[in-house]
Chains A and B, each alone.
Chain A
Amino acid sequence: MLSSQLLAFFASPAEFVQQATPQQWTTFLQQARQQGLTARFYYVLQTKQLLDQVPLQVKLHGESGARYAQKQQHSLYAELQQLESLFAVADYPCLLLKGAAYRTQALAVSFGRLFSDIDILVPAAQLRHVRDRLFFYGFREAQMTDYDRDYYLNWSHQNPPLQHYQRGTVIDLHHHIYPTASARTIDITPLFTYAVNVPGSAFKVPASAHLFIHAAVHLFYQEETHKLTKDVIDLNDLLLEVQHQKQLDFMLEQAARMSVQSAVINACWILSKLFKNGAAQAALHSFALPRHQPLVCNLLLTMLQGQPARAWFARQLWFVRGHSLKMRWQVLVYHSLAKPASGMQRWLRRWLPGHKS
């Protein structure tokens, strides 16, 4: 579903509040719920002192969302405290990524942001050790087919998701920020080198510049589109944070070093276009950078703002493009044949007489 009202709001909250019709507010509430942004819009209204200017219904739904987000944040802290003793004895760096990292740094992007899991990055050599220790802490891998498990272990950048047997918390344990099956090699050493300590905790978080790079890589080098609007809104806030911390030059230099310039430049172009993001405009104009990729950027804009049929078609192209980026062609061909074959094999085992599952 296209989220035009949401984009309009986050691009210019004051203007949207002045002009929105009741019909647009109805759509806005629905889109915010869908993208998990109800609490985010409430905090934006609060920060910009616009709460008194929105209809009461919008304010009440925003408050509802904020209460839910607050509860999630309490749960996040409670869970991190449970994990502290495990990581306190580790003699290697353990980094929080994405939502957990934003929250522990109290970045603006984290206010009202919802979590579905906790993302942790450890050096590849320690992945198995950390996973085994998490087993002793009550985490287990979700049920999945052998094929899917092999996929995670051999081709992705993380262990299969680990869920606590009692609390239900899900940990995505990463050893990289990008699938190892890709032909693209991203050096993530700087994430560890420049990581920032979380006061009073065994965890560290990547520098803001790397948080933005990670989010840009996630958006532009993969195929996921189900939370596209939220992803670009996250990127917008993250880039403003990078600028606020005076890390813009550092971020661009790091993007070149990690060979992810195209993702970062495309992200800046999109943010400049959608949100007139000052930091993005500064980045695009002040440096001798390669040009953005017009086809890729327009594909993304079509998914966000295009007519439904064109957006659907763009999503299919994005899906194919994302897979071709995150897997070497040999792996992609094998996966495209082996995944359906493995499904068919399971189906036959279930239905053919004489076979027992």
Chain B
Amino acid sequence: MTDFAIHTAPFSVLVANHSNKLTAALAELYPAELITRPNPQLIYDFCLQVQRKWAGWGRPFHVSSGDQHFRMTDSAQLVPVFEWGVNWCVASYQHQFLAIHAAVLERDGKALIMPAPPGSGKSTLCAVLMQEGWRLLSDEMCLVDLVSGAIVPYVRPVSLKNQSLTLLQSWYPQAQIRQITAGTTKGTVGYMLPSKHSWAGMQQTATAAWVIFPQYNAAQQQLTLSKVSQADAFMHLANNSFNYAVLAEQGFISLSRLTEQIDAYRLEYACIEQALSELNKLC
């Protein structure tokens, strides 16, 4: 039993862990100072249990939060299931921030938000931008402070899937991609480590400036970047939010404010260099 805690601002997670493999794997993904032994002097936001329910080495691990079962997995897929489990806790229980399913990066204090459904190339584009010097705030969840409207970072390893793993590695041979796991429900999954200045700025908020709705399309002849109206941007952001409906009036006010301060575009691309150059011109 190797219990530990992960201190990724703004949420900390206490993990009751029965897998040595998980401890070793997370040590590769997170900076050493963010994974500690449980400290009884701290309050932890979420608790996860990773344990075999019935004794025996061949039994699957159960990832759960108290009585709330998340998923069962064999040892080989424990890392992605654990990472999704942390996302599940945050998406299910926190309504302190407006949470939008989106990648967020920052340059010169201004945040670029990329909301998109799975398969749109959001994480690939996010990883590329981080490699090009943007500061990563999150590849999964854009957290909007309900009072100040600031974009709050939730820095975690960037989850890459299938083809994008090989592409990223070929484009950026120095990129550190760890814990590649084949055969998950999302295919092959691996994690790109956030850049040093992304970890260093994990508590530094940014101001929303651009919203890009990316769509990778291999058949696209020419990149298209089209302006999206504020009303459409609002609706798309609301649809991509985990808790817009829960926050009711506060959600509406918060999203209205965000929409008023950004320029929104739809980006359809086949070639990553073109997409990158277009974004560099725009932002």
Contact = CB atoms under 8 A, between A and B. Distances in A.
Contact of A33 (B14, B44, B65): B65
B14 A1 contact: no
A60 B40 contact: no
A25 interface: yes
B14 A26 contact: yes
Interface string B83-106: 000000000011110000000000
A30 B43 CA distance: 11
Contacts of B42: 22, 26
Interface string A17-34: 000011101100111011
B250 interface: yes
B24 to A, nearest CB: 25
Interface stretch (B134-142, B149-157, B227-235, B240-248): B240-248
B248 A71 contact: yes
A67 B95 contact: yes
A328 to B, nearest CB: 32
B280 interface: no
A226 interface: yes
A117 interface: no
Contacts of B262: none
B65 A30 contact: yes
A167 interface: no
B95 A64 contact: yes
A29 B14 CA distance: 12
Contacts of B65: 30, 33-34
Interface residues of B, number: 22
B66 A31 contact: yes
A60 B96 contact: yes
Nearest to A75: B245
A22 B248 contact: no
A309 B43 CA distance: 27
B93 A34 contact: no
A67 to B, nearest CB: 4
Interface string B51-67: 00000000000000111
Interface string B246-266: 111010000000000000000
A74 B248 CA distance: 9
A63 B246 CA distance: 12
A301 interface: no
B157 to A, nearest CB: 24
A23 B47 CA distance: 12
A85 interface: no
A305 interface: no
Contacts of B43: 22, 25-26, 29, 55, 57-58
Interface of A: 1, 21-23, 25-26, 29-31, 33-34, 38, 55, 57-58, 60-61, 63-65, 67-68, 70-71, 74, 226
Given A30-B66, A38-B93, A61-B94, 9 more contacts: A22-B40, A26-B14, A26-B47, A30-B47, A33-B66, A55-B43, A63-B96, A64-B93, A71-B246
